[in-house]
Structure 1
Amino acid sequence: MGPSKAAALCLAALLLCGGVVAVAAEAAQAGDNPEAGSGEAAAAAEGGSPDPAKQRPPFIVLRHQDSWVLEGAAIAFLLAFLVNMLIGRRRNERLALAWTAELVAPDGVLDRNFALLGPGDTAAGEVLLKDSMHSFKLWASGRRFCQGMLATLQLVRRQDLLAYTVMALRGQKDVLELEVRMNEGALPPLVLALGQTAILRNMALDSDDIKTFCKRVEVTRDRIPNWPDKLAVWAEHSSIFYDVMGPQLLDLVFSKEAFQPLRPYFRYLHITSEAPEGHKQVIRQSFVLPPAGERTVLPRLLTLACLLIDLMGSYRLSPEQQKRATDARAKRDAEARAGEQDEMRKRAEERRLAKLQEEQERLRKLPPEQREKELAKRQKLQQRRRMNRAGKNM
């Protein structure tokens, strides 16, 4: 729309509003002046004809507003929504900066284990990237066996009043997710997940790798006597879980005594070489951000992520485990190809039926004589094809 059209529309809108206001004012004056009405009635009684312009009804009638409760409530909600958006956004930014300062603290876990904190192509000292009002990312790189680690702060959506209310009712909290992207070939073919039972049950339904390769593993007390209660395990094979869960991991996090202070915060650990999206070979870890007073929780969980990089980068499957993994992936690929072929056959059958229906509709619209000719021609063609097939089979 050009400037002249916009100006014309604005002028027309102003004139229309002026006309409405003028008519409304005249109607209000007519209602407030009873003498004018009595004069018109007297003129009509005397036999005179009233003025047609005065008999014309008003263009718009303004009625008295009895209550403004709904309008006031709507305005109050909008104001509350805007104020909450500003306050919630600033609070999330303060929380993200505070946690980032703790993550990249000098001589901290990440500072000791990674050569570079931040994307490396931004201003000096800028390590935190804002993905949205409630999501912030930190990239760490420069370590063996991996391309780097992506730390994502998934904070509560405090800027959204409705979402914040729903999350508060559900008890959702701020979460830190760590995703280590392993080098190609550094992680052997395996899938392993452990965490809270409800979370793993949902992951088993949503993650194709867990759903395809994993099964529930019941941790036996003779193998790991101090395994924490209510910590579920899904693994491609139980032997892989027992190989990975060595003394270092048990002493750091996964023994009953070590896991007890971490239980309110630990959500899940997911190690996979078959990630359905993005980078294929990843180690994912998710946990609830602890309160400010819990200074020992975050370093231990970060140490767990760094320890897993070294353990999984140097871990190798036994020949039997390698054969099972190869067979499982070959079976998965065969099923995928069979599914694609079935889908192709289904689409081809749908196209054939649609074409046949279209041809029948075309024949139905033809005149009777032409329809008979078409049918006879089609019968001859089918008979010739049958004869050709019979000749090839002889």
Structure 2
Amino acid sequence: MRLHICLLAVILCMLQRPLAASKHFEDDDFAEFEDFDDEEFVGGNTANGNSRQGENANSVNLNVDSKKDNAYEDDSNDFAEIDDNDDDEAVVEDEENDFEHFQDEEEFEGFPGATNDEDIRINDARRSEPKLTMAKVPMHFRTHWDSYWMEMLMLAGLLAYFANYLLGNRKNSSIANLWLSTHKSLLEDNFVLLGDDGKKETEGSTMSFIKESESIYTLWCSGRTCCEGMLVELKMIKRQDLVSLIAGIMKPAQDQLHIKTEMSADSMDNFVFCVATKKQATKMFKELNDLSKFCTLVNKTEEKYDIPGYFLLSEIAEASSSLLDSRLVAALNKYSHLIEYIHVSDQYSGPIQQEDQNTLKQPEVKHILHCGFNMPAKINMEEMQPLLVLVFYLMERLKRFRLSKEGKAKSDKNRARVEEEFMKNTHAARAEAAAQRREEKRKAEKEKVLANEDPEKQRRWEEKERKRLEKKRPKMKQLSIKAL
């Protein structure tokens, strides 16, 4: 048993030899084996006073020491060569440390262990930076109202806008009610029904304006001879809109009254006539369909009709001379600041529409008497009553007026010319529509024949279709050349 222990100690010494060489082969390192032998094998038996075991332990120690010296001498020569050749590479790795990266000088900037010039410069710069301190601002509401001048200005603007909206809306409504109360008796004398346009069911007549918007009021009147009805429209300044009022300073505008009377078809002859101010006449001639197609612009009305400041758009001179009688001329001269235009037409279709090649029918036309008046600046409704009387006079005048044979012939010729121009412009569209109708008719006929089970009828229809197609083919003329 003791022999086995000795052999085991020798093996352990041989295994520890590389480790001892890596530690520069210090002699004191092998002392641990002596301690090991003394404690394990010698120290344990001293308590019993066994001297024989001590002698055996000493002999083992002597053998181990001798072998140790021999091994040391052999191995020292080998490691000396390694140390001479590769001093830098012969490094034994220490046990891995999990927190070693915290001690890396290049891992963090400004690390206390840094010794290079760059790190020292960074640390000095950081130490020289001034220390910033935040001022303590009280959290209570600031009492300096001048800091909110922008918000107060916007709030004041909104208040002014809404206040102007209420005041402007009320003023426009009061103007409409004032006009209606001033002309109520005159309207009741000429019309049976007031305030009903026939589009809604009402139990009785209600004489009141219909509010189309904050600045537009309408009133429909009906129940009178020679006319289908009359539409009174008040177009006032947008007093409820502060922006429009500010824009009106640069471009002044006035409240206007438009009266459109739809005449009966048999109550007036066919002609187009318009008298208007210079600016309005030019605008209407460019925008309205009937005036641009049937009338010519005459600007020498002062010399012929004694109405300065007005232009004339006339289709037939006979109708113009008849309508511009002494009473109308006197009204135009007296109320020139109020009368904007007077438009009479049997071909009224509204503004000029963009030409559409697919349009196959002319727009619907009406017989109208359309008058436009400016309202006085001081809103004097008594001054406007003669203008409504003038409208009723023109209605009666149109009912009595009749064109001569020459005037009727010229009127019919003009309308035929306009019709022909329309047919030429829409010829391609009408031809395409006709071809499409014929194709649909043949397709329906073919489906009807194919649905019939009689083969004889199908054969006759196919023969008929073949002959029709042969007729459409162009015929080639054959020329004969005589031989010389």
Q: Does structure 2 retain, via aligned residues, the 8 Å contact 1:127–1:138?
A: yes
Q: Distance in 2 between matches of 1:242 and 1:142?
A: 30
Cα deviations by residue, 1:170-221 (Å, 9 ceiling, x for unpaired): 1101111111111123221111111211111111010111111111235567
Indicate conservation of the 8 Å contact 1:217/1:238, yes or no.
Answer: no
Alignment partner, residue 229 of structure 1: 308
Aligned match of 2:250: 169
> 1:149·1:181 contact (CA, 8 Å) conserved in 2?
yes
Given that residues 254 and 377 in structure 2 are in contact (C-alpha distance below 8 angstroms), is that contact kept between their aligned partners in structure 1?
A: no
Q: Matches of 1:276 and 1:214 in 2, distance apart?
A: 15
- Cα contact 1:119–1:127 (8 A) shared by 2: no
Letter in 2 for 1:231: Y
CA shift for structure 1 position 73? 4.0
Partner residue in 2 for 1:238: 317
Residue 68 of structure 1 and its aligned partner are, at CA, apart by 4.8
1:284/1:196 Cα in 2 relative to 1: closer, same or farther (>3 Å)?
A: same
Structure 2 partner of 1:290: 376
Any conservation in 2 of the 1:175–1:286 contact (CA below 8 Å)?
Answer: yes
- Taking the aligned partners of 1:80 and 1:343, their CA distance within structure 2 comes to 57
The within-5 A match list for 1:9-28 is none
Q: Provide TM-score, normalisation by structure 2.
A: 0.53
Distance 1:337 1:286, change over 3 A: same
Match of 1:178 in 2: 259
Alignment of 1:23-172 (within 5 A): 68-104=148-184, 106=185, 109-119=186-196, 121=202, 125-172=206-253
Is the alpha carbon distance of 1:201 and 1:223 closer, same or farther for their aligned partners in structure 2, counting shifts above 3 Å?
closer
Do the aligned partners of residues 321 and 155 (structure 1) sit closer, same or farther apart at CA in structure 2, a change above 3 Å counting? same
Which one of 326, 337, 346 corresponds to residue 247 of structure 1? 326
Give the counterpart letter for 2:229 in structure 1.
G
Residue 268 of structure 1 pairs with residue 336 of structure 2? no
1:283 positional shift: 0.5
TM-score of the superposed pair, with normalisation by structure 1: 0.64
The residue type paired with residue 233 of structure 2 is T
Counterpart Cα distance in 1 of 2:292 and 2:155? 49
**Is the CA contact 2:296–2:313 (under 8 Å) kept in the aligned structure 1?**
yes
Please state how far the C-alpha of 1:244 moved relative to its aligned partner: 1.6
Q: Distance in 1 between matches of 2:241 and 2:379?
A: 27
Taking structure 1 as reference, are residues 159 and 294 closer, same or farther at Cα in structure 2, changes over 3 Å only?
closer
SS of residue matched to 1:92 = helix
Q: Which has more radius of gyration?
A: 2
Note if contact 1:127-1:139 (Cα within 8 Å) is conserved in structure 2. Answer: no
- Deviation string 1:277-297 (CA, Å, 9 cap, x unpaired) is 386111011111125574553
- How far apart, CA to CA, are the structure 2 residues paired with 1:81 and 1:294? 28
Shift of 1:345: 8.9
State which of 306, 321, 324 in structure 1 corresponds to 2:410. Answer: 324
Specify the SS of the correspondent of 1:143: coil
Secondary structure of 2:347's counterpart equals coil
For these two proteins, the number of residue pairs brought into alignment is 283
How far did 1:264 drift?
1.5
Match of 1:217 in 2: 298
Question: Aligned partners of 1:88 and 1:293: how far apart in 2?
Answer: 15
1:335 aligns with 2:421: yes
Distance 2:473 2:205 in 1: 77
Whether the aligned pair in 1 keeps the contact of 2:236 and 2:256 (CA below 8 Å) is: yes
Q: Do 1:189 and 1:273's aligned partners in 2 also have CA atoms closer than 8 Å?
A: yes
CA distance in 1, matches of 2:293, 2:240: 38
**In structure 2, do the counterparts of structure 1 residues 297 and 171 end up closer, same or farther at CA, with 3 Å as the change threshold?**
same
Determine if the alignment matches structure 1 residue 308 to structure 2 residue 308: no
Aligned partner of 2:420: which letter? A
Q: Relative to structure 1, is the Cα distance of residues 67 and 393 closer, same or farther in structure 2, using a 3 angstrom cutoff? A: farther
Q: Which runs of 5+ in 2 are unaligned?
A: 1-110, 113-141, 351-363, 434-468, 479-484
Structure 1 portions without partners, runs of 5+: 1-44, 47-63, 348-384
Pair 393,160 (structure 1): closer, same or farther in 2 beyond 3 Å: farther
Residues 78-131 of structure 1 deviation map (CA, whole Å, 9 limit, x = unaligned): 333222222211111111111111121x3xx32332233221836665422111
CA–CA distance in 2 between the matches of 1:331 and 1:152? 35
Q: CA deviation at 1:222?
A: 7.7
Partner of 2:274: 193
**Paired letter, 2:261:** V
Q: For residues 406 and 311 of structure 2, what CA distance do their matches in structure 1 show?
A: 25
CA contact (8 A) 1:204 1:211 kept: yes
Does the CA-based 8 Å contact 1:192-1:214 persist in structure 2?
yes
